[in-house]
Amino acid sequence: MMRFQAFIGILLVFLSVWPGTLTGGGGSQLSSTGFELASGASTSLNVQAPWSGRFWGRTQCSTDSSGKFSCTTGDCGSGKTACNGAGAIPPALLVELTLATNGGQDFYDVSLVDGFNLPIMLAPQGGYGDCNSTSCASNVNTVCPPKLSVKGSDGSVIGCKSACMALNQPQYCCTGAYGSPDTCPPTNYSKIFKNQCPQAYSYAYDDKSSTFTCFGGPNYAITFCP
């Protein structure tokens, strides 16, 4: 059985982060699809390979007088702490994992394709092969262009949408005539993301420098706000 381990870094800005999980490809959801982690806390989830899915952090979450749970960034819209099969509402920085059986080749990445809300690092624990860690450890919100920025109630930037999400144009979404790596090069917007987070996916075809692999069935550790 593969184990995914999530833990919060001690430099966490918020008092808590509420990680969310989503199994892809129609597979069964994990035993927990959303939970709270206080600053400095850690937890672990057992994941049975083969498995493919994503993790992300939700911030500034609370429950209102009617019992509805919601978050300022990364909310999954379930109205509860558990996301129950719902994904993150952009902007949200994602960790994506595909786990192989019998010690085969795992694939993993940190993705800005759905935008940014808080820094994340992903690191294999054990395994063999390249097995490099990857991250988006910079606060992209500090350089987010006005057209992409999401502001909180106090006017501060709390999230940065990808150009595809914000502008919905083929040249940013790599669709239509731009639907291949040859016709959809990096844009000025994706280069801002890439400059801040060189290891992370900055747009749809940013594979060469942003996809990582590991063999041998390692554990994986995710740190929010490393």
Three-class HEC string of the chain: CEEEEEEECCCCCCCEEEEEEEECCCCCCCCCCECCEECCCEEEEEECCCEEEEEEEEEEEEECCCCCEEEEECCCCCCCCCCCCCCCCCCCCEEEEEECCCCCCEEEEEECCCCECCCEEEEEECCECCCCCEEECCCHHHHCCCCCEEECCCCCEEEECCHHHHHCCHHHHCCHHHCCCCCCCCCHHHHHHHHHCCCCECCCCCCCCCCEEEECCCEEEEEECC
Give per-residue pLDDT as tens, 184-226. Answer: 999 999 999 999 999 999 999 998 899 999 999 999 999 998 7
How, if at all, do strands 42-47 and 94-99 pair? unpaired
122 pLDDT exceeds 80?
yes
d(CA 143, CA 183): 27
- Delineate the domains of the chain, giving CATH numbers in brackets: 2-224 (2.60.110.10)
Say whether pLDDT at 41 is over 60.
yes
Rounded to an integer, what distance in angstroms lies between the CA atom of residue 62 and that of residue 80? 10
Task: Report residue 24 as tokens.
Answer: 């892809």
- What whole-number distance in Å separates Cα of residue 216 and Cα of residue 160? 36
Confirm if 133 and 124 have CB atoms less than 8 A apart. Answer: yes
| pLDDT attached to residue 184 | 97
**Mean of pLDDT over the chain:** 91
Q: Answer for the pair 29, 45: CB distance below 8 angstroms, yes or no.
A: no
For residue 57, the cross-strand partners are 19
What pLDDT, in 10s, does the model give residues 54-112?
999 999 999 999 999 999 999 999 999 999 999 999 999 999 999 999 989 999 999 99
pLDDT of residue 191: 97
pLDDT tier at 1 (50, 70, 90 boundaries)? very low
What mean pLDDT is predicted for residues 123-140? 95
